[in-house]
Structures are given as structure tokens and as C-alpha cells.
Structure 1
């Protein structure tokens, strides 16, 4: 059985002391503790222009648009969906990371401020992501586009890709990046059953998160992408899991199902890492993880560019 006390990288232990407790059964204080830590953190926007657009006044949908200053009309678009257990998190908390993605890839990065559960259960968040995606395609008309999501954002990214596929609109998506994604409401994998008290994310939080997100409804393949029985037609996928993460096995199973559906898929597992590792500051293993993801994003866009005959920025 997975034992984080034996597996977890020692350099992560000190960083974990600064992580606010995740309490998805009590989202108000969870949001407040996150805000106390992250609202005061300066975000490095150097080399990137940041704009905020309100694209649906009725739903209050806001999107943050980060554009590389050196290339004001780039041909690549990345929709970046934030995490937070579907009950917390803000798009602006990812500004520094999204700015880094924009700088390093030369892409426009769009981050939607989707509605949170339990006030807005499924499908509100997914509807917001679809609206942000549709708006971004119309606004920027990119030659290449990619959907990226971390944790709960990975759930929404995968659900959005499935929804676009079923609507006949998946052709606009060139690649899908799922970082430590939340995929399965059944919570019955070995790693999830063992995750009683794992760092950052655990079984009690997963139960509370799914209960808040689904509300009185039932999970379908868009709410819980692991329930999709047929994944063919999705674009190429990069999927990252952590060795000491209760979400590990559902990510691995999803990669297997993608392969069985003949979807080009790359699966990576970070050794000795836990959930949320990309957000850990000043930790060697986190620095390496971020560099790997940035490298894969650049590699994916380069591959798409070559496949499309070379796009000149």
C-alpha cells in the first residue's frame, strides 16, 4: 500500500507546512484561507500583457487573457482551467503560472473564472468553460489550440473535450493536457482508498468535493470523465500523475482507456511527489515538474505546427 511517509520527497515536507488545509466540506473557510495566502502573493506578469474580459453579464463570467508582449497576435491559444476541488480557487491565483506558460510557449492563455460548487453545482462550471472556449476561438481565431487543466481543472478540461467531441466541435482542439486530474466520482481505486490522510488531497476531501459538485444530480461522462466508455475522437493527450496522490490510479486508468480508444497518449508519473506539486515554491522536485510541463507544452505546439505545415508567427 502507498505510504507517503516512505515515498514523499523530503524537500516537499517543509513546503507542505505552508499549504492551507483543504476542507471541501466547509468551502467558505477554505476559500478564505486560500485568499489570505494567495491574494497577497505578487504575480510576475513581466513580458506578458494581462486583460480581463466580462463575456456573460448574466452569469458573471470573467476571463483573464494573458498575451506575450513580444507577439501581440500569436497563432496559439491555451485554455487554462484552475483547480480548487471544484469548490474553491480563483483564476487570478494562476496568473503567475499562466504568464509563464504564455512567455515560454508564445501562446495566448485564457483562464475562466468559472462558478463554484456547492452554490453552483454541475454543470455550471463546465458551461462556463465551454462559453470561455467558444468566446476565445471567436475572439482570437487561433491556428492552434490546446485545453489545459490542473486537478479540478483537469476534470473540467476532460469534460469539456468530451462535450466538444459529442457536439462535433472537437476539431478545434489540437491537444489536451491533464495535470493530476480529478476524473472519477466512484472513489474506488487502490490509491484513493489508501488516501485517508495523504498530503494536500485525500479521500475525505474527494468525497466532499464530489458531493458539492454533483449536488442532487448523478454523474455522467461530462461530470466524471472516467465514466466515459468510449474516448475515441479526442485529440492527443498528455496526462501527469503524482506517485503519492490518491488521484494517481484514476489518472493511470484514464490513460489506459485513452490508449484502448486509439487516442495518442503520453502518461508521466512524478516520483516522490504529492498533489499540488506544481504550486510548491522553492522546491527542487516542483521546479523540475514545472519545467517538464512547460517543455511538453512547447513540444506539443511545435508538433502541431509541423503537422499543420508550419505556422509563421
Structure 2
């Protein structure tokens, strides 16, 4: 076992054991039903649940050490799953950690999945949740962060465009965790795990349907000016490593402050499948530091 672990020098030392068993391809049309069945069994925590419309709900978390009733900052969090599987309950523990660490309320969105509901429906579901959050009495609408992981990060990026082009109060920050941004990405680092080009083709084809990819895929958008500041984090062994870096560079070129954080030797979803590892804790700390900095500015 030790020799096999040592034979994986391209992975972060904290992730080499997990890399031995982590699949390169987590979802295909054949496995989608199984993955959905497994995620449907996730019970999660016991937060307040608000149904916004059939198929769309928000799981609401408060800091467990909160003091006072004054409106506080908020994080709208969007779960991942390649646009085709997953549910908000899978991130309950993470959302409570954000709430406790940052002293914010967190609204985690259950949006409708593709291919049954293709673009723009998932983005509209997240926009509905954002409107709901802005109008909560316990929320300071001038200090709302939007964020998500993987497909959730892609939806958060798409949501930023939708809010910018509306009359809604704009978020102060985008927290984009290895976001899924560009349907054109079909190849990446040699040592990928969890999500590869075939997964990406399937996820994007399901999400896009008949939509215009130049509008639906944030990585294809050319009008990045006026978006909220952003933090983008991704592993060097992630399929999205290049597209995320390019998007960060383009945000900066458009005058949007963006901090890019690369985790050497990390693969897609590493902080989920190895949440107790040192590298995962450091990755979470980086996210919290970025959000804290913007909320205290």
C-alpha cells in the first residue's frame, strides 16, 4: 500500500491515498440514475427549509453563536453535481461551517436539475432564491456573497450576470470553488480524478439543451465588466484548472478584482472526498479569509 501511495507523486501528499480509489469519471448517462438515488438518501442536518416553488427550496443556516438580532451578511450557496445530480443537503455541514466561521446566515439552494430542466431554469431558480434572500429581515442586502462549488460555482457565475443585468441589489462577492464555466473544455491535466472530459460533455449537453452556449456558459461570455469581485480556487489536477485561471485573468482584464488560488496536486472535489485532510482545511480557510476580507472592507 505504501509503495503504491509513493507512486503517485503528482498528487498532493494529503490526497495520495484517496487518489488510489477515486474514479477518473464519476458520472455517465448510465450511472446518473445510481448517483441520483444515492444523493437522494442524504439526510443532511435539520435547518429551516423554505419551499419557494415546486422543485425549488432553500435550506437556511444561522451561526450557532449568533448574538443580537441586527441584520447580518449572508452567503447564497449553490451545490455541485455537474448540473445533473446532487442536492443542497449534501453541503449542510459545509454551510453550517461557513455560518459559524463567518458569522453569516447561509441560504443553500435546491435547484432543478438537467437534463429535465435545462438552461435557463437552474439559473432562474438560483435567482429566485437570491431575491428571497435579499428580502429577509435578518439579512443585510448590501453584504450578500454568492458562491458554489463545481456546477454550483458555474451557476453562481451565471447568477452574477443575471443580477448585474437586473434591478436587484448586487452581491458584494463571488466565491467560485473549482467552478464549471466552459462547455468547450474536453481535456485537462493527465492526473485527473472525479471529473473528466466525457463527464463534462454530458453535463454541459444536459444543461445547455437548445440554449446559446455563448450566453449560457459563463466562460464564453465577453461582457465581464461590472461583475462583483471574485475568488476562484481550483486544484492543479482538476479538469477546470485552465478554464478557471483564464476566467480569473479575464475578470481582472475587465476591471473586476479577482484572486486566483491554485492547489498543487489537488483533483476535482478533493475537499469533499477528503474533507478532514490538511489541504482541504487550508482550502476552506482560504475561502473564509477571502469572504471575511470583503465583508469587513
Quote the residue 2:280 is aligned against. Answer: 286
Q: Which runs of 5+ in 1 are unaligned?
A: 304-313
Quote the residue 1:113 is aligned against. Answer: 110
1:146 maps to 2:160: no
Quote the residue 1:251 is aligned against. Answer: 244
Select the residue among 95, 100, 116 that pairs with 1:98: 95
Shift of 1:237: 0.8
Shift of 1:17: 5.8
Number of residues of Structure 1 aligned to a counterpart in Structure 2: 284
Residue by residue, what CA displacement relative to the aligned partner does 1:201-251 show, whole Å, maximum 9, x if unpaired? 111100110111112333132x20011112111111111121111101111
Q: Measured at CA, do residues 19 and 99 of structure 1 come closer, stay the same or move farther in structure 2, by a change above 3 Å? A: farther
Write the distance in 2 (CA, Å) between the matches of 1:154 and 1:131: 17
Secondary structure of 2:179 counterpart: coil
Write the distance in 1 (CA, Å) between the matches of 2:245 and 2:92: 29
Select the residue among 207, 225, 228 that pairs with 2:221: 228
Write the distance in 2 (CA, Å) between the matches of 1:181 and 1:69: 29
Shift of 1:197: 6.8
Quote the residue 1:307 is aligned against. Answer: none
Write the distance in 1 (CA, Å) between the matches of 2:20 and 2:294: 35
Q: Give the structure-2-normalised TM-score.
A: 0.88
Equivalent runs, 1:9-88 vs 2, <5 Å: 9-16=12-19, 22-26=26-30, 27-35=32-40, 39=42, 50-56=47-53, 59-71=54-66, 73=69, 74-88=71-85
Select the residue among 198, 202, 212 that pairs with 2:196: 202
Write the distance in 1 (CA, Å) between the matches of 2:20 and 2:29: 21
Shift of 1:117: 0.7
Q: Give the structure-1-normalised TM-score.
A: 0.84
Quote the residue 1:265 is aligned against. Answer: 258
Contact (CA 8 Å) 1:55, 1:62: kept in 2 or not? yes
Write the distance in 2 (CA, Å) between the matches of 1:296 and 1:224: 25
Q: CA RMSD in A?
A: 2.2
Write the distance in 2 (CA, Å) between the matches of 1:209 and 1:5: 28
